[in-house]
Structure 1
């Protein structure tokens, strides 16, 4: 008699006690720094996303988000605001909602970027590769939507998206 045991694939994770510093990504004094450890925790990125994979994804996410906000930011700088945090906005937990939305946009762009390249543990254990691809694409689109909404909230524009069928 033989037994075949099927188990989900093992995922290597970084233990919470791992003191490896990840650092921050900066884009000048006007924009908030992005703490890579906080991003990893907030977006549920385990140890399979190495720092060497994470850093370029976050750098591209910051560049993308700043690019979308560049005209708005230039206007705020011309008004005399020294940073995004200095622009008048609602404060939640003693932090500007604009800073929180900027962070969310960067986090979401980075997660979407990573999902397109590496399987997330949410997609492991699927029976068919097609299912994995559809799940990853769907998750990436949801993160891109969150990023777009965060940027639009900073800009003060609507979240409405219209798609012609």
Structure 2
């Protein structure tokens, strides 16, 4: 798949194959969903996506083993409602990986510019990073069927 991305092209952003159970990830889709411009190099985005896949896959390893023991070869085979032509579980997995990758990319902006403007931009992005990490947690909790809970100590 190729296409134009502002500040660059995405022709070299091939799908990232997963382990067979979890779906493959399209970097262009991640780029579009998270509004990441061509300022984020394809190699940097790919590394962030791979790291996100490794992290989410590891966190869901036990659940995956249960599903495979039940005879389900892929995430799409696990019974779930379908929305927009895909399993809700596939949507949740993609959301977890996409948000984790985006959080890593956004965090790296801190190292791009050490001027006062760069520090201000990094401070401005901090809530966004926290929100992305929260969305990862919620997507994984939803996939596992766990309740979301936020606890704050006073």
Higher-Rg member (1/2): 1
What is the Cα deviation at residue 93 of structure 1?
1.5
1: CA distance, partners of 2:82 / 2:43: 34
Moved more, 128-137 or 51-60: 128-137
What is the Cα deviation at residue 63 of structure 1?
0.7
1:60-96 Cα offsets, whole Å, 9 max, x none, are: 0111111111111110110100100100001001200
**Equivalent pair of 1:152/1:159 in contact (CA under 8 Å):** yes
Q: Which runs of 5+ in 1 are unaligned?
A: 1-12, 120-126
Is 2:58 the counterpart of 1:62?
no
Q: Per the alignment, in what secondary structure is the counterpart of residue 49 of structure 1?
A: coil
Structure 1 moving runs of 4+ over 6 Å: none
TM-score by length of 2: 0.87
What is the Cα deviation at residue 137 of structure 1?
1.7
What is the Cα deviation at residue 20 of structure 1?
1.5
Aligned residue for 1:9? none
**Equivalent pair of 1:26/1:33 in contact (CA under 8 Å):** yes
**Equivalent pair of 2:8/2:38 in contact (CA under 8 Å):** no
Name the Cα RMSD after superposition: 2.2
1: CA distance, partners of 2:8 / 2:130: 32
Is 2:23 the counterpart of 1:32?
yes
Aligned residue for 1:105? 96
Aligned residue for 2:11? 20
1:94-144 Cα offsets, whole Å, 9 max, x none, are: 20000001000000000000111116xxxxxxx755532322221111001
2: CA distance, partners of 1:15 / 1:135: 22
Cα 1:96–1:43 change in 2 (3 A) is same
Equivalent of residue 158 in structure 1, options 144, 147, 150: 147
